């Protein structure tokens, strides 16, 4: 969609830095660890994708960042979410509210239910303007009309007085995007924003997001299950499975050299990748529901390349890419340039280290990543 | 409404199972208020025995309505559906019920299409109970005049395949009994008694109860769709989405239909589960000799599983042809746009789709002429404006859409009152809109707000300005109809005037509905290339 | 269609409903088992019967050969007369209970009390039931929620005739039970009497003699309170439960999450986003309960000796004052239809999706 080269990560400060994020839900029956030790960061002007199937924990990640995880869910100790350098975990609701909308904005999946049906679209956009920029009256109406125009909704002034049910699906999502951008956030989190839309409307929305990102140098976290969309929008991708990131790489690298068996299976099961006459590859079994910290590889039961140790050792992220490409995967098969016992030893060491410090892989990963990532 | 250009009959000698002619489905057709919703607006196609016909389109195009009408879940407003030569749209009562055994449907949403209060076994068994299955059909070999009594009924000598459950070969007073494979019973479950008098009478009794036979059949089905026999007693909520969809498929196959409508069967499932269900559907098609109508919006899936594809837009079939060639070399501009909009799972390919502007028109108010005329990227432009640049055209099209939308927009009583009184309403700011739409053409950074209407008009070429002034005048007086007419008069073309016919676009029998296929105009491919450069077509 | 057009449609529809309902009333009153004239006059007294019958329009006096005969007026003619009378708002007079008094006078005497009772009942139900429900919905699964929910269910379960009797008993003996006398509290009243509503019929009193006027107002309110509590109690329980559910559903909806993601304050979320949406399912409940107040008030009025319309209707039916019954039925039907219209009106105001048809 854009003619520019893929955005390269700059040495600038990340807008968002998530480290060792763990989120658990305590219900009467069970404990669900929806997110287990997830770390990533986002730089200004780039799009980081999170891709995974339903049940992988992608939406919970978004909500954890926004502070929208409520009882019976909570973030565990050790989780860190840094936005513009400021730590968000531990903020009170009031403090968080200042950040929401103003610093980080979110676009949800279903635009019809994301808008309050009894108020006009203009009313809801102006609500955001009033909250964060203190605009009221005519100034607010003018700005709201401008916002709708900026997302290519024609006849903007008239549309402001209409209700959500009078908009079509694609237009609604544009209005939601306009509302999210009302206060010039630095980071936009999109949770499956085009899943509910038709493919031609999806193309419009993706183009719109791209234009906005170019214009405002906006950082975007884009969550989806559609590999095709990820290929087109993301600069870097995190593949999520059962609450963990199993592979992290720049997008071309991920599609060209998928390392983790799950990523490979995902790519193979997309219709159209292989020969049309062949049967589609599929993955046996279902995504498991994690109930606590992982002490083994969660994908092992369904993995075509699993072996015995996969049930005993929790894989840590190791470098699997070329020299200057930041590509990590959490799989006991890697690093594959070492004999298997040595490789397993590395994972084992990380696991015991993590259990000892109770800190997950973060510390140790720091030692191995290129200098740019260090704070 | 459209003519079907007859192609070479001999090329289509294949066995046609379903033939659809001029099918229309309108909702609220006779209501006193408002216009009807034209969900399906004159559709012609056929489905050959054993093939998978894909039906694609975006939401609101009518594909689901079409699928439901084919299995008589909706009553057609006009037109006919010939199933094996017989028009089924006029069936009713017990004939309709009997026909339903031949055509079944698998629904989209596995969560809501199964009754949570029933066990899996009950769900799959229900069609069997309703139709009092099995009605054993018996053919007495070599004796067409034989009468059949008991639990069975006779079937004509020409019946074959799944129409004949039991074949009885009579030799004297003995009988040799053969039972069709797919039934869960064998000859040992039947008590056959032959009485050869002046006419042979064959009495066939079913030994196990029908309930037992049905249970056995359901268990077989569950196994065939990849579930386990014990799942008979479980409830739907105990299963995942993919498994629930398998249950839905088992239910559809219970009565051994010939024709199955699959209404977006994998849209609600994850990619890996999708693959499994698609494989299953293909296997079942081979095993049972099924004919599928596969409705979907995911073109990659459709390409994989379908033999031929029909592309729908606003209740019309825009293009219909073999899947591979349709995807490789689309003919219709809508197909081009649709294909180019699919995000390719390959980041090295720059996706530069033909992004359609605007949204599909409401089915209550389809455009005159070609249904795609309001958004078509390859729309024919009047010769007078041959040299007008693409951006200006985009602006004109935007204005066209806005005027149409305004014409449809609800005017509350209060607004009408205000209009009559000449007060300002939210429809007043006509000039702002025109400035907004055309003002974008200016390259200077601070366009819209300060630009006056007159200044902007002056900047436009004269032959554009004239009609625009008229249009603006009409709009100011809230005469949207007149404004629309003036717009079409100045900038309209064949596309707005008449609906195109179907043209043959390749040797394989592919048809497409577009004026540009007429030799008088440039063809679609070259025009799109000229206007959009190297877009992401296939 | 626009929502006001929809409302207009509904309004127009009430006319045929009214006509149909009144036709049914006519059939019951005139063509039913009771002969209205006989009911009024009683058995015996044949001469009086004919006079009454002629007055009622059931019979006609005809001169035949110099003698006066009485001929039955055909039913369809009676029907036409009846409907014409109603539509010109000629409601006739009462025959048995208040002989020779026009129905309007009777209503003017009785209606204010019923309306006063109904007004307070609805108010209590609305302003106790709904806030409680919202509170419970906003704080689910807390002790406050349990108390409110449980209380609502208990309150709803108590039959109002039982509750009425208990209240009368308790209040009559308030001195012994609580140490203070209910009757003497604030303004002297009796436990069971009709409230004095002079201030309603003569609002000018507030200006001319404010002291007395307010005294009356207080007295009337205090008088009606126990009855209103009884009558409003079941509605209150119902509205509480439904309000709670409505709030719970709304709180968990996507647009509330979007509002939170925008940074909207908790107060704004409750009062702006949740409140209006939660009211939508409550509208039919409120208006349905209001209907009940018309009928359910008969028992309560009887027990508290309020002598309002409900009791009047009951007495008229049992005493055979059928013309009064017919006219009162008309009033009640009008009231019911007005409440229906009010419900549609509320819907139209609160929910902009009203009248919108999906494509």
Tens digits of residue pLDDT in C72-87: 888 888 888 888 887 8
Q: In this predicted structure, which of A221-230, B352-361, B409-418 has the lowest mean pLDDT?
A: B409-418
**A247 - beta bridge partners?**
A239, A329
If pLDDT is split at 50, 70 and 90, which confidence band does C104 have?
confident
Count, residues in chain C:
359
For B193, the enclosing helix (H) or strand (E) is: strand B190-196
- Whether B37 and chain C come into contact, CB under 8 Å, resolves to yes
Q: Do the Cβ atoms of B334 and B311 come closer than 8 Å? A: yes
A197-218 tens-digit pLDDT: 888 888 888 888 988 898 888 9
- Whether B412 and chain C come into contact, CB under 8 Å, resolves to yes
Residue A227: which of B324, B345, B401 has the nearest Cβ? B345
Q: How many other CB atoms sit within 10 Å of the CB of residue B326?
A: 31
pLDDT score of B8: 42
Please name which of B311, B328, B331, B333 lies closest in space to residue B320, comparing C-alpha atoms.
Answer: B311
pLDDT score of B133: 86
Whether the complex's predicted ipTM is more than 0.90 is answered with: no
Q: How far is CA C250 from CA B174, B269, C3, in A?
A: 74, 28, 23
Contact flag A228-B355 (C-beta cutoff 8 Å):
no
Task: Reduce the DSSP state of residue C61 to 3 states and report it.
Answer: strand
The answer to whether residue B70 scores a pLDDT higher than 60 is yes
Query: What separation, in Å, do the N-terminal and C-terminal C-alpha atoms of chain A show?
Result: 33
Buried b (16+ CB within 10 A) or exposed e, A213-238: beeeebbbbbbbbbbbbbbbbbbbbb
If pLDDT is split at 50, 70 and 90, which confidence band does B7 have?
very low
If pLDDT is split at 50, 70 and 90, which confidence band does B30 have?
low
Tokens read off for B191:
């008590």
B95-129 tens-digit pLDDT: 888 888 889 999 988 888 999 899 999 999 999 99
Please name which of B121, B94, B107 lies closest in space to residue B67, comparing C-alpha atoms.
Answer: B107
If pLDDT is split at 50, 70 and 90, which confidence band does B259 have?
very high
C324-353 tens-digit pLDDT: 888 888 888 888 888 888 888 888 888 888
* HSE-CB for B489 with a 13 A CA cutoff: 11
Tokens read off for A214:
């170019």
Contact flag C262-A179 (C-beta cutoff 8 Å):
yes
**Average pLDDT value for residue range C172-184:** 77
**Cis ω on the peptide bond leading into residue A335 (within 30° of 0)?**
yes
**Average pLDDT value for residue range C173-200:** 74
Residue B426: which of A157, A233, A271 has the nearest Cβ? A157
Tokens read off for B461:
């070429």
Q: In this predicted structure, which of B322-336, C46-60, C235-249 has the lowest mean pLDDT?
A: C46-60
**Nearby residues of B401 by Cβ (< 8 Å), 6 or more positions away:** A154, B357, B358, B374, B375
Residue C302 phi, psi dihedral angles, 5° rounding: -65, -45
Sort out which chain C residues have CB atoms less than 8 A from A180's CB and list them. Answer: 262
A28-71 tens-digit pLDDT: 888 888 998 899 999 999 999 999 888 788 889 999 999 888 87
**B532 - beta bridge partners?**
none
B57 min Cα distance to partner chain A (Å): 9
Q: What CA–CA distance (Å, rounded) separates B177 from B198? A: 22
Residue C359: which of B364, B411, B412 has the nearest Cβ? B364
Q: What CA–CA distance (Å, rounded) separates B524 from B530? A: 10
Q: Do the Cβ atoms of A198 and A169 come closer than 8 Å? A: yes
Sort out which chain A residues have CB atoms less than 8 A from B276's CB and list them. Answer: 280, 282
Give me the residue label for tokens 């208006």: C287
Q: How many other CB atoms sit within 10 Å of the CB of residue A257?
A: 16
Tokens read off for B69:
């009408």
The answer to whether residue B395 scores a pLDDT higher than 60 is yes
Q: In this predicted structure, which of B126-135, B525-534, C292-301 has the lowest mean pLDDT?
A: C292-301
Pairing of strands B166-171, B174-179: antiparallel
Chains with 3+ CB–CB pairs under 8 A to B are: A, C
Q: Do the Cβ atoms of A39 and A21 come closer than 8 Å? A: yes
Domain ranges (residues) in chain B: 15-117+235-326, 129-211, 383-492
In B406-494, the DSSP E strands lie at none
Pairing of strands B152-154, B136-141: parallel
**Average pLDDT value for residue range B171-189:** 82
**B202 - beta bridge partners?**
B148, B194
Q: How far is CA A140 from CA A8, A116, A128, A155, B512, in A?
A: 37, 19, 10, 17, 49
Q: What CA–CA distance (Å, rounded) separates C303 from C310? A: 12
Please name which of B141, B142, B166 lies closest in space to residue B153, comparing C-alpha atoms.
Answer: B166
pLDDT score of B32: 62
pLDDT score of B13: 55
A134-188 tens-digit pLDDT: 888 899 999 999 899 888 888 888 889 889 988 887 888 999 999 998 888 999 9
Please name which of B397, B295, B302 lies closest in space to residue B342, comparing C-alpha atoms.
Answer: B302
Contact flag B412-C1 (C-beta cutoff 8 Å):
no
**Average pLDDT value for residue range B462-483:** 82
Tokens read off for B382:
């009047």
A230: Cα separation from own chain's centroid: 11
Percent of chain C with pLDDT over 70: 93
Instruction: Indicate the average pLDDT of chain B.
Output: 83
Contact flag B338-A201 (C-beta cutoff 8 Å):
no
**Average pLDDT value for residue range B261-285:** 88
For A1, the enclosing helix (H) or strand (E) is: none
Please name which of B255, B252, B308, B245 lies closest in space to residue B279, comparing C-alpha atoms.
Answer: B245
- Whether B414 and chain C come into contact, CB under 8 Å, resolves to yes
Q: Is the dihedral of CA A9, A14, A19, A25 positive or negative?
A: negative
pLDDT score of B31: 61
Q: What CA–CA distance (Å, rounded) separates B106 from B249? A: 6
Q: How far is CA B341 from CA A51, A209, A273, B536, in A?
A: 20, 15, 17, 8
Measured torsion, CA atoms of residues C17, C21, C26, C28, in degrees rounded to the nearest 10: 150
Which CATH code fits B15-117+235-326?
3.40.50.300
pLDDT score of A168: 82
Supply the pTM of this predicted model. 0.80
A 265-324 residues with CB < 8 A to B: 265-267, 269-273, 276, 279-283, 286
Q: What CA–CA distance (Å, rounded) separates C289 from C235? A: 6
Q: In this predicted structure, which of A216-220, B58-62, C318-322 has the lowest mean pLDDT?
A: C318-322
Q: Do the Cβ atoms of C278 and C134 come closer than 8 Å? A: yes
- The full 3-state SS of A288-300, as one line of letters, equals CCCCCCCCCCCCH
Residue A98: which of C260, C263, C280 has the nearest Cβ? C263
Contact flag A53-B301 (C-beta cutoff 8 Å):
no
Tokens read off for C241:
């439960």
Q: How many other CB atoms sit within 10 Å of the CB of residue A87?
A: 11
Q: Do the Cβ atoms of B455 and B435 come closer than 8 Å? A: no
Q: What CA–CA distance (Å, rounded) separates A270 from A266? A: 7
If pLDDT is split at 50, 70 and 90, which confidence band does A371 have?
very low
The answer to whether residue B162 scores a pLDDT higher than 50 is yes
**B265 - beta bridge partners?**
none
pLDDT score of A296: 87
Q: Do the Cβ atoms of A163 and C353 come closer than 8 Å? A: yes
Instruction: Indicate the average pLDDT of chain A.
Output: 83
pLDDT score of A290: 85
Buried b (16+ CB within 10 A) or exposed e, B129-161: eeeebbebbbbbbebeebebebbbebbeeeeee
Contact flag A101-C259 (C-beta cutoff 8 Å):
no
Q: Do the Cβ atoms of B425 and B415 come closer than 8 Å? A: yes
Nearest chain C residue to A110 by CA distance is C254
Sort out which chain A residues have CB atoms less than 8 A from B340's CB and list them. Answer: 203
Tokens read off for B280:
């299953």
pLDDT score of A247: 93
pLDDT score of A367: 34
Residue A142 phi, psi dihedral angles, 5° rounding: -60, -45
Query: Across chain B, which distance is largest between two alpha carbons, in Å?
Result: 103
Tokens read off for B319:
């293009």
Q: What CA–CA distance (Å, rounded) separates B180 from B163? A: 10
Residue A161: which of B300, B351, B426 has the nearest Cβ? B426
Please give the DSSP secondary-structure letter assigned to residue C271: I
Q: How many other CB atoms sit within 10 Å of the CB of residue A143?
A: 15
**Average pLDDT value for residue range A313-337:** 84
Please give the DSSP secondary-structure letter assigned to residue B367: P
Please name which of A277, A66, A37, A57 lies closest in space to residue A187, comparing C-alpha atoms.
Answer: A66
Contact flag C1-B411 (C-beta cutoff 8 Å):
no
Give me the residue label for tokens 């039916």: C317
C254-270 tens-digit pLDDT: 899 999 988 888 888 88
pLDDT score of C1: 56
Q: How far is CA B526 from CA A367, B504, B535, in A?
A: 56, 18, 12
**Average pLDDT value for residue range B334-360:** 82
Q: What CA–CA distance (Å, rounded) separates C62 from C53? A: 13
Task: Reduce the DSSP state of residue B204 to 3 states and report it.
Answer: strand
The answer to whether residue A2 scores a pLDDT higher than 60 is no
Q: What CA–CA distance (Å, rounded) separates C255 from A124? A: 10
Pairing of strands B502-504, B308-313: unpaired
Please give the DSSP secondary-structure letter assigned to residue B63: H
Q: What CA–CA distance (Å, rounded) separates A86 from A16? A: 9
Contact flag C254-A108 (C-beta cutoff 8 Å):
yes
């Amino acid at each position: 969609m854009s003619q520019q080269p893929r955005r390269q990560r700059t040495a600038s400060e990340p807008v968002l830095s998530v480290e060792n994020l763990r989120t658990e839900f305590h219900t009467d029956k069970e404990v669900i660890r929806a997110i287990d030790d997830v770390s990533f960061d986002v730089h200004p002007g780039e799009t980081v994708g999170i891709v995974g199937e339903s049940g992988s924990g992608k939406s919970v990640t978004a909500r954890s960042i926004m502070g929208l995880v409520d009882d019976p869910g909570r973030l565990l100790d050790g989780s860190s979410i840094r936005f513009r350098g400021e730590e968000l975990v531990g903020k009170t609701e009031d403090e968080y509210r200042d950040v929401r909308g103003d610093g980080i904005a979110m676009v949800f999946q279903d635009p019809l239910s994301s808008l309050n049906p009894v108020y006009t679209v203009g009313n809801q956009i102006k609500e955001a303007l009033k909250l964060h920029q203190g605009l009221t009256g005519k100034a607010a109406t003018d700005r709201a009309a401008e916002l709708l125009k900026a997302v290519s909704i024609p006849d903007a002034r008239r549309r402001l007085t209409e209700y959500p049910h009078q908009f079509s699906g694609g237009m609604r999502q544009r209005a939601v995007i306009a509302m999210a951008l009302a206060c010039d956030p630095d980071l936009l989190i999109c949770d499956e924003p085009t899943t509910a839309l038709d493919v031609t409307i999806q193309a419009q929305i993706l183009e719109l997001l791209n234009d906005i990102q170019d214009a405002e140098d906006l950082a975007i976290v884009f969550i989806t299950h559609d590999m095709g969309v990820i290929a087109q929008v993301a600069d870097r991708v995190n593949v999520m499975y059962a609450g963990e990131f199993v592979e992290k790489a720049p997008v071309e690298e991920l599609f060209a050299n998928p390392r983790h068996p799950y990523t490979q299976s995902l790519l193979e099961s997309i219709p159209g990748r292989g020969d049309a006459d062949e049967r589609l590859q599929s993955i046996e079994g279902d995504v498991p529901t994690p109930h606590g910290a992982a002490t083994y590889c969660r994908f092992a039961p369904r993995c075509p390349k699993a072996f015995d140790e996969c049930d005993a050792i929790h894989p840590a992220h190791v470098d699997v890419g070329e020299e200057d490409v930041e590509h990590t995967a959490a799989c006991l098969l890697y690093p594959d340039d070492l004999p298997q016992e040595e490789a397993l030893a590395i994972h084992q060491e990380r696991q015991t280290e993590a259990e000892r410090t109770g800190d997950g892989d973060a510390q140790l990963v720091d030692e191995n990543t290129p200098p740019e990532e260090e704070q | 409404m459209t003519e079907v250009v007859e192609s070479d009959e001999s090329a289509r000698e294949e066995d046609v199972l379903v033939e659809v002619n001029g099918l229309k489905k309108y909702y609220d057709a006779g209501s006193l208020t408002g216009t009807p919703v034209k969900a399906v607006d004159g559709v012609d196609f056929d489905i050959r025995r054993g093939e998978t016909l894909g039906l694609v389109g975006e939401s609101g195009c009518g594909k689901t309505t079409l699928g439901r009408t084919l299995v008589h879940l909706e009553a057609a407003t006009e037109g006919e559906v010939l199933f094996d030569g017989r028009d089924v749209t006029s069936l009713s009562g017990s004939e309709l019920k009997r026909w339903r055994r031949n055509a079944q449907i698998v629904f989209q949403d596995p969560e809501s299409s199964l009754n949570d209060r029933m066990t899996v076994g009950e769900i799959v068994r229900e069609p069997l109970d309703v139709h009092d299955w099995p009605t054993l059909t018996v053919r007495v070999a070599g004796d067409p005049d034989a009468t059949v009594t008991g639990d069975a009924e006779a079937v004509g000598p020409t019946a074959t395949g799944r129409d004949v459950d039991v074949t009885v070969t009579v030799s004297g007073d003995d009988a040799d009994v053969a039972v069709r494979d797919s039934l869960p019973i064998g000859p040992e479950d039947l008590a056959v008694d032959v009485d050869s008098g002046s006419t042979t009478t064959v009495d066939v009794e079913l030994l196990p109860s029908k309930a037992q036979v049905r249970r056995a059949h359901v268990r077989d089905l569950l196994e065939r769709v990849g579930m386990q026999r014990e799942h008979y007693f479980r409830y739907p909520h105990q299963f995942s989405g993919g498994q629930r969809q398998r249950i839905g498929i088992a239910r559809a196959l219970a009565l051994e239909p010939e024709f199955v409508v699959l209404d977006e069967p994998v849209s609600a499932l994850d990619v890996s589960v999708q693959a499994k269900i698609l494989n299953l559907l293909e296997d079942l098609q081979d095993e049972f000799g099924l004919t599928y109508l596969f409705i979907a919006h995911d073109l990659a899936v459709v390409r994989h599983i379908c033999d031929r594809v029909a592309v729908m837009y606003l209740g019309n079939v825009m293009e219909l042809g073999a899947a591979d060639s349709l995807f490789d070399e689309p003919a219709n501009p809508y197909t081009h746009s649709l294909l180019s909009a699919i995000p390719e799972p390959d980041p090295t390919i720059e996706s530069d789709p033909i992004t359609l502007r605007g949204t599909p028109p409401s089915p209550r108010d389809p455009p005159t002429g070609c249904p795609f005329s309001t958004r078509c990227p390859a729309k024919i432009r009047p010769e007078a404006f041959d040299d007008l640049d693409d951006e200006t055209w985009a602006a004109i099209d935007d204005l066209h859409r806005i005027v149409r939308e305004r014409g449809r927009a609800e005017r509350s009583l209060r607004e009408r009152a205000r209009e009559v009184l000449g007060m300002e309403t939210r429809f007043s700011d006509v000039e702002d809109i025109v400035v907004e739409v055309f003002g974008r053409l200016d390259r200077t950074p601070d366009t819209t707000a300060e630009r006056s209407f007159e200044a902007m008009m002056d900047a436009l070429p004269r032959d554009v300005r004239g009609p625009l002034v008229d249009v603006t005048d009409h709009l100011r007086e809230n005469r949207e109809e007149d404004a629309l007419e003036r717009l079409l008069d100045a900038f309209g073309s064949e596309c707005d005037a008449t609906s195109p016919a179907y043209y043959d676009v390749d040797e394989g029998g592919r048809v497409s509905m577009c004026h540009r296929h007429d030799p008088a105009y440039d063809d679609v491919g070259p025009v799109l290339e000229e206007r959009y450069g190297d877009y992401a077509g296939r | 269609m626009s929502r006001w057009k929809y409302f207009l449609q509904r309004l127009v529809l009430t006319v045929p409903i009214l006509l149909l309902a009144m036709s049914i009333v006519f059939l019951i009153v005139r063509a039913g088992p009771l002969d209205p004239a006989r009911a009024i006059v009683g058995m015996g007294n044949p001469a009086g019967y004919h006079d009454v019958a002629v007055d009622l329009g059931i019979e006609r006096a005809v001169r035949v050969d110099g003698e006066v005969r009485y001929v039955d007026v055909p039913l369809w003619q009676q029907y036409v007369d009846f409907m014409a009378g109603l539509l010109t708002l000629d409601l006739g007079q009462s025959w048995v209970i208040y002989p020779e008094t026009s129905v309007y006078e009777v209503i003017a005497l009785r209606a204010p009390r019923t309306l006063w009772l109904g007004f307070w009942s609805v108010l209590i139900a609305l302003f106790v039931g709904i806030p409680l429900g919202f509170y419970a919905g906003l704080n689910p699964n807390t002790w406050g929620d349990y108390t409110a929910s449980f209380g609502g269910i208990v309150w709803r379960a108590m039959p109002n005739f039982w509750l009425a009797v208990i209240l009368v008993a308790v209040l009559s003996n308030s001195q012994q039970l609580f140490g203070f006398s209910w009757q003497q509290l604030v303004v002297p009243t009796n436990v069971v009497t009709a409230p004095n509503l002079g201030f309603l019929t003569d609002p000018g009193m507030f200006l001319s003699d404010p002291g007395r006027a307010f005294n009356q107002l207080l007295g009337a309110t205090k008088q009606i309170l126990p009855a209103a509590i009884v009558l409003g109690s079941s509605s209150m329980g119902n509205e509480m439960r439904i309000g709670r559910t409505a709030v719970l559903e709304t709180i968990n909806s996507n647009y509330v999450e979007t509002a939170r993601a925008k940074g909207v304050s908790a107060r704004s979320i409750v009062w702006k986003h949740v409140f209006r949406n939660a009211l939508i399912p409550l509208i039919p409940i409120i208006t349905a309960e209001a209907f009940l107040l018309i009928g359910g008030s008969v028992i309560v009025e009887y027990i508290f000796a309020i002598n309002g319309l409900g009791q009047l209707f009951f007495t008229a039916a049992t005493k055979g004052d059928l013309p009064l019954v017919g006219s009162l039925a008309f009033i009640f039907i009008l009231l019911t239809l007005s409440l229906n219209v009010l419900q549609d009106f509320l819907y139209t105001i609160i929910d902009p999706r009203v009248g919108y048809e999906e494509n």
